[in-house]
Amino acid sequence: MDDFFKEIDGMENLVIEIQKGLTAIPAINPENGGDGEYEKFLFLRKLIGSWGFDSLEEFLVPDDRVKSKMRPSLIATINGKVEQKLWIITHLDVVPPGEEALWDNSPYNAVVKNGRIYGRGVEDNQQSLVSSLLAAKTILDNKIKPHYTVKLFFIADEEVGSDKGIKWFLENNNFFSKDDLIMTPDGGEPSGKTIEIAEKSILWIMFKVLGKQSHGSRPDKGINSQRAASHLCIRLDDMLHAKYNGTDPVYDIPVSTFEPTRRYNNVANMNTIPGEEHLGFDCRILPCYRLSDVIDDIDVVSKEIEKQSGVKIETDIIQNLQAPAPTPPDAGIVRLIQKSVNKLRGFIPQPIGIGGGTVAAYLRMKGYHAALWSTIDMTMHSPNEYSIIKNTMDDAKVFLDMMMGE
């Protein structure tokens, strides 16, 4: 294994090459104004097509919102000594860059500096995607057979709810079995000392606040949707934090969070009272609370604001994901990660819960044990997102050790 690890240490240029190629393709979901993952899928398929995988399976999920009319996913398989499968699931899509003025370079032109590579998607989720490729390439180049049957699953549509990704596969083509070892390395922290086995419930909710537009000097002729939206925001913030204030030390942030995140469709000039405004909340809620109760309480506050301000508030629930039961801390995938990390790094990572949402939640809903582990600086979704190149290679060694079952 030491010789194989040395091979991975020599793959820095390959890491940069793959990262640059992936980053140059903005695989943004149509909900966020993008055209999906198809071009990125084509790049990846061409890259690994001659590597020698035992099979490459393409899955094209229909979606009329994108130019290709399909949302692609890819499964690359290396047959193992045993039929038991080790899945490493990473996603192809990325979030938009946000305010591009905050980036030091173009978000889609990956830049290497001081051992890091900068660009949108390089950490979320391309770092682990590349790590899985390095581990697989080492096996294929050396013509060795891993202990487990390795399944690298490159999946679409993770960032906005997985309707065209893992949810579709679980409903239409369920490849998984209860004895599979499923790793979804879409989270982690800088030390690599934690394994995510639980996630909070997720509620994404948009409010359309409808008032009446008028001249800025004649508020008596209008109904100010911005004022009403501001009252709604503050009232919800106060109510939700006060009522759903429990704690759970298992989670990296031990409380529920209720964050106003999106606001748009206001007027462009100073002297017009806005008649319409949109307000979004991203809520990550401890599983001890039922989302149906949270939604009922939100509805009560919305009606109070309607009565107080004379506006109409329309509510659109974008995501409503009640957290499933956690992966048991002694599950096979958790023990396998712990064994390989301890062997290579000299410590045993501990199970935790997180507020982020990943494909693991949908797998757990179906009774499959999934766990997340990687070594990242948690720059995902931020300006100047970066990935540490050494982390990519070091994580690949852990993935390889897991594949070999040594």
> What percent of the chain has pLDDT above 70?
100
- Please tell me the distance from the alpha carbon of residue 86 to that of residue 90, in angstroms, as a whole number: 13
Whether 35 shows a pLDDT value over 80: the answer reads: yes
CA distance 54 to 271: 65
Average pLDDT (266-282) is: 94
- pLDDT bin (cut points 50, 70, 90) of residue 328 is very high
Q: Report whether 75 contacts 60 (CB < 8 A).
A: no
Q: Measuring CA to CA, which residue among 120, 141, 103, 107 is closest to residue 14?
A: 141
Determine contact, residues 224/274, Cβ cutoff 8 Å: yes
- pLDDT category of residue 264 using cuts at 50, 70 and 90: confident
Confidence of residue 30 (pLDDT cuts 50, 70, 90): very high
pLDDT of residue 268: 87
Q: What is the mean pLDDT of residues 276-297?
A: 97
171-208 pLDDT, tens digit per residue, is 998 789 999 999 999 989 999 999 999 999 999 999 99
Put residue 193 in one of left, alpha, beta given phi > 0 → left and psi -120 to 50 → alpha. alpha
Contact 278, 204 (CB under 8 A): no
| Mean pLDDT, rounded, for 101-116 | 97
| Beta strand ranges found along 35-156 (DSSP E) | 55-62, 70-78, 85-91, 111-113, 116-118, 149-155
Mean pLDDT of the chain: 96
User: pLDDT tens digits for 229-253?
Assistant: 999 999 999 999 999 999 999 998 9
Q: What is the pLDDT of residue 82?
A: 97
What's the rounded Cα separation, in Å, for the pair 283 and 256?
7
pLDDT of residue 165: 96
How many angstroms separate the CA atoms of 74 and 89, rounded?
10
Ranking 76-80, 183-187, 265-269, 309-313 by mean pLDDT, the lowest is: 265-269
Helix/strand/coil for 307: helix
Delimiting residues of CATH 3.30.70.360 domain(s) in the chain:
201-321
Cβ atoms of 225 and 209 closer than 8 Å: yes
Predicted structure pTM score: 0.87
Long-range contacts of 242-251 (CB under 8 A, 24+ apart): 243/297, 244/285, 244/286, 244/289, 244/294, 246/286, 246/288, 246/289, 247/286, 248/286, 248/288, 248/353, 250/198, 250/352, 250/353, 251/198, 251/200, 251/286, 251/352, 251/353, 251/354, 251/355
Bridge partners of 62, per DSSP, are 70
What is the spatial distance between Cα 28 and Cα 26, in angstroms, rounded to a whole number? 6
List CB contacts of 179: < 8 A, sequence separation 6 or more.
84, 332
- Which are the catalytic amino acids? 93, 158
Topology of domain 2-199+325-404, CATH: Aminopeptidase (3.40.630)
373 or 406: which leads in pLDDT: 373
- Say what angle helices 126-141 and 389-404 make with each other, to 10 degrees: 50
What's the CATH code, domain 201-321? 3.30.70.360
Q: End-to-end distance of the chain based on CA atoms, in angstroms?
A: 9
Residue 203's identity, in one-letter code, is: L
Q: CB–CB of 337/327 below 8 Å?
A: no
SS3 content of the chain, % helix, strand, coil (to 5): 35, 25, 40
Tokens at 250, concatenated = 């298992």
- Contact predicate 149/81, CB 8 Å: no
Asked if pLDDT for residue 340 goes beyond 80, the answer is yes
DSSP class per residue in 188-206: -BTT--EEEEEE-EEEEEE
pLDDT for residue 406 is more than 70: no
Residue 6: both structure tokens together: 């040395």
- pLDDT attached to residue 42: 98
Q: Give the pLDDT of residue 51.
A: 98
pLDDT for 357 equals 85
- The answer on pLDDT for 265 being more than 90 is no
The pLDDT of residue 231: 98
* pLDDT at res. 161: 86
CATH 3.40.630.10 residue window(s) in the chain: 2-199+325-404
